Structure 1
Amino acid sequence: MNAEILRHTLKREFSSLEFARNEFPMLTTWGVKDESICVHSLGCNYLGALGRQLGFWAINEYPVRVSTRYIRPDIVWWTRPDGFPLLLGEFERFEPGQTSKLIDKARNLMQTYEALERKPEALLLMAWTIAGTEISANRVVRSVAFDGFRTQEGQLIEGLGTEATFVLAHAIFGQSNGQLRLLEVQT
């Protein structure tokens, strides 16, 4: 699977939420309480299950050695049967004023991508918000992926080339009767 096909496949699911509705009704129909890491846990499990549904091996919180530390992307997909890393993903809550949080997650994805020898074909950053929340950080977050950056240690992380894609998605949750429900995913 190449980066463009993978991007299209993700966009198709995110526009329909067919798999989410069929396999994760607690996200889309029943609703969940906004407490602890409930939404984060369900979102990560949804993305992992989606990868398996598409025929990949998928693991949540997989540690990747980056220099002297480990970064644990929320989700990693590998191709079958060769085991090449295909997708690195983060599912992160976003609230107003937290632009730096999304920038940090994009940097983590890029550093992990670099540590995996730039082999993954897709990097997915899905920010989840309550409906009505303005996310104004899109341009600066995308620039981390496409333009690259310099780490605190001074290492240059070059931007994505044409072999990989960066998907910045926004999972929009509605709130009623104390429950959150996934309404849509914008890409």
Structure 2
Amino acid sequence: MSTERPPGPDGLPLIGNTLDYFRRTYDYRTECAREYGDVVYMEVMRTPTYLVVHPEDVERVLRTDSEVFKNPEFLEKQLKPVMGDGLSTTTKESWRWQRRLIQPALHRNRVLEYEDLMADTVRSFVEDWSAGDVVEIDRAIERLTMRILILSLFGAGISERKIDEVADAMRGLYERSVIVPSWVPTPSNRRRTSSRT
């Protein structure tokens, strides 16, 4: 195994690639993969971070050799207050326990129960698009995912406007929790700190 660092974009002093990584999430990662290849090195939140693109490499990181790889600490520190102890912010042991807990709900037969709901939601979501329209795919996928999730959990009685409000709120929480580190004394960080003491 090579110890040479993979290629990647130059970052800014002190903050590295943090701004582009979070502000232009999908576009930035796509550009990096095109320019630098299947494994890209960057610094995010003062943490060495690797973007892994090739499906075989992704499988290796997430499945085959998952014990060797871990999420950056900033994910846990910044996202945990917003997302709780979820699958993306937890330790390996807790992750295994949570995965075993939800696995029956993700079994192929259970997911097939939602097949019509997902297909109908996708169809209605894209029916307003016209040939030649420019679509911000990352935001579109977020909204589509949120619609499917909410409709799966709560049924059809929720308006599109409410679903969009939830999607916007989740994006706002995510962006605020990650872009500004918790040690920066912003008003929201000070309120969060004082509420813990």
Q: Given the two structures, how large is their TM-score scaled by the length of structure 1? A: 0.26
Higher strand share: 1
Q: Radius of gyration: which is bigger?
A: 2
Q: Given the two structures, how large is their TM-score scaled by the length of structure 2? A: 0.25
Structure number with higher relative contact order (C-alpha < 8 Å, ≥ 6 residues apart) = 1
Higher helix share: 2
